[in-house]
Structure 1
Amino acid sequence: MERAEEIAMFRTALRIADLHPDPITLPDDHQVIVGSMRFHYLDWGGIGTPILFLHGGGLTAHTWDCVAVMLRDRFRCVALDQRGHGDSEWSPTIDYRIAAHVGDIEGFIDSMRLERPILVGQSMGGLNSIAYATRHSDAMRAMVIVDVAPEISTSGAERIRDFAGTPELDSPDAFLDRATRFNPLRDPAVLRRSLHYNLRETPAGKWVFKHDQRRRSDDAMRAFTEDRTRLADHVSKISCATLVVRGALSDVLTDDSAEMFARSLPNGRLARVEKSGHNVQGDNPRAFLDAMLSFFRDAGIN
């Protein structure tokens, strides 16, 4: 796709979200080696406190585009394709446990020299952020956790797992049809743009999601669930200011679980974003930005 067409698609997504950055720009694509793996990330530039955005399972760094473009004039915004996702390398040992992700984040932050970063993570990225903060919250400015907690709804997570496990289909339009039925909150034009960054064509001419489906095996998911539930024993170590964001229509994080998680944090608060499901940053980016900026102001972050 030509750059001009990418910008046109982005302009449409921003208009639908009622967001009006000036100028409308796309991030720079970069690669970096962390440990023995290659990672792709989006660098929006900007100055000020660095924000590292971490996407959910089955998504890519581009899920944060509408948010990052609105923050780049005040913050240094970087979004990472985590292992096995987007244009980053797949784990050769099929290691997708939270500890492996945390090691990647540690190496990436060191490599990028992100001093006292804010971590913003959704779903899988949120759990990885929580785990990172249990070790490093004293070196973090703040954290935003989007629609996830150590305790989540199994049925909602299974629904997402089923969608993310979509087998190969004949065309991007076939994926768009399936995605529209999966998330009717989202405008099809926005979903089409998201799929542009999250699909690849196979040598046989079929289309598949870019993420490594091996990470969704029963054994891998069982191990990931064990890691998630163990996090509850360590959240009291997180000292940095933390905002827990729940999508009001989410079937993954309940109000009770979100409130309990926010209360368990030494410096936590809760925000509920209307007209959004699990992918808050995509369903209602404007309200999500409002919640984040209010949190930043209260925390004294410029």
Structure 2
Amino acid sequence: MASAPQSRYYESHGLRLHYADWGNNGAPVAILVHGGRDHSRSWDVIAKSLQPHFHVLAPDLRGHGDSEWTRGGSYALTEYVYDLAQLVRSIAAPQVTLIGHSMGGMVSLIFSGSFPDLVAKLIVLDGVTMLPDTPKPPVHERIGKWIAQLDKLHDRTPRRYASLEAAAAQMMLHNKRLARDLALHLATHGARRNEDGTYSWKFDPYQRASAPHRLWSDDHVALWSRITCPTLLLNAGESFLAGAKAAGLERYFRNARIETIAGAGHWLQHDRPQEVLGAIRKFLGLAAVSG
């Protein structure tokens, strides 16, 4: 089994996008889609566990990891969906299993509702970020908020860290459960070295802005109803997302079930890796992890 993946690239929207390829050609394809301000190597534990059974690919979304940033800082969810569609097309997979975390979960849900025939199974890790019946703010408010966000980001200086250890320490401040060695792994793949020897995060700060033309709750619900494959909504017991606490979300899907990982925050795959892995493997019909 590969201890580290191959780096591969493909083109989407004129951008050179990167993905980690864990190998196992000829096996069913599983694509692991990270969340905002994250990167493909965040999935290593899950990727290694699934690799004997799947050809595992983990893309760096545009503006993240080793993928190019967009010109003009445009990062609507549908643009990530386009990139995912291009990846599926480039590998010529008839069907894929999708596993998405947070924003990557939303991207996976939108893709699965838009192209239900292409998705064999869908797992969303704490990724329902918009609830049904969420009120839609007036359009002038959405545009005003977006412009204010872009103005603020334009004037922002990227933070610099003296070392990868310092960058990892910053991640541990945001997630109290994050183990030091995992934080260092995430920082090693999530930061790049500046000319002065300091480190800054690889992600484009502009992906923090909320596009005013985004999909709204009725759009998401319409897409959920079109998803035909078995779906697992795997929530974090101590998530900050309302979606993790909402009762009855499965009724919006044809074939979904909700499970909750107790004692885990939003980064459930880092907080409770064995429990998350066990739930994923069970849902995919794989044997329990030994050891």
What secondary structure does 2:8 align onto? strand
What secondary structure does 2:283 align onto? helix
Aligned length: 260
What CA distance in whole angstroms lies between the structure 2 residues aligned with 1:269 and 1:166? Answer: 40
Q: Is the 8 A contact 1:41 1:79 kept in 2?
A: yes
| Residue 16 of structure 1: aligned partner | none
What CA distance in whole angstroms lies between the structure 2 residues aligned with 1:228 and 1:57? Answer: 18
Q: Is the 8 A contact 1:31 1:39 kept in 2?
A: yes
Greater share of residues in helix: 1
Structure 1 residue identity aligned to 2:282: S
Task: Give the RMSD, CA atoms, in angstroms.
Answer: 2.2
| Residue 256 of structure 1: aligned partner | 245
Do the aligned partners of residues 166 and 244 (structure 1) sit closer, same or farther apart at CA in structure 2, a change above 3 Å counting? Answer: farther
What CA distance in whole angstroms lies between the structure 2 residues aligned with 1:265 and 1:45? Answer: 32
| Residue 47 of structure 2: aligned partner | 68
What secondary structure does 2:110 align onto? helix
What CA distance in whole angstroms lies between the structure 1 residues aligned with 2:207 and 2:200? Answer: 15
What CA distance in whole angstroms lies between the structure 2 residues aligned with 1:293 and 1:144? Answer: 11
Q: Is the 8 A contact 2:20 2:58 kept in 1?
A: yes
- Percent same amino acid among aligned pairs? 25
Q: CA deviation at 1:168?
A: 2.3
| Residue 85 of structure 1: aligned partner | 64
What secondary structure does 1:90 align onto? coil
What secondary structure does 1:144 align onto? strand
Deviation sequence 1:62-121 (CA, Å, 0-9, x none) = 011000101111111100000000000101132210111111111110001122101111
| Residue 288 of structure 1: aligned partner | 276
Q: Is the 8 A contact 1:147 1:253 kept in 2?
A: no
Q: CA deviation at 1:253?
A: 4.3
Structure 1 residue identity aligned to 2:175: N
Do the aligned partners of residues 150 and 57 (structure 1) sit closer, same or farther apart at CA in structure 2, a change above 3 Å counting? Answer: closer
Consecutive unaligned residues of structure 2, counting only runs of 5 or more, are 135-156, 287-291
What CA distance in whole angstroms lies between the structure 2 residues aligned with 1:168 and 1:228? Answer: 35
| Residue 109 of structure 1: aligned partner | 88
Structure 2 residue identity aligned to 1:211: F
Q: CA deviation at 1:269?
A: 0.6
Structure 2 residue identity aligned to 1:100: E
Q: Is the 8 A contact 2:22 2:51 kept in 1?
A: yes
What secondary structure does 2:233 align onto? strand
- Equivalent residues in 2 for 1:194-205, closer than 5 Å: 194-205=186-197
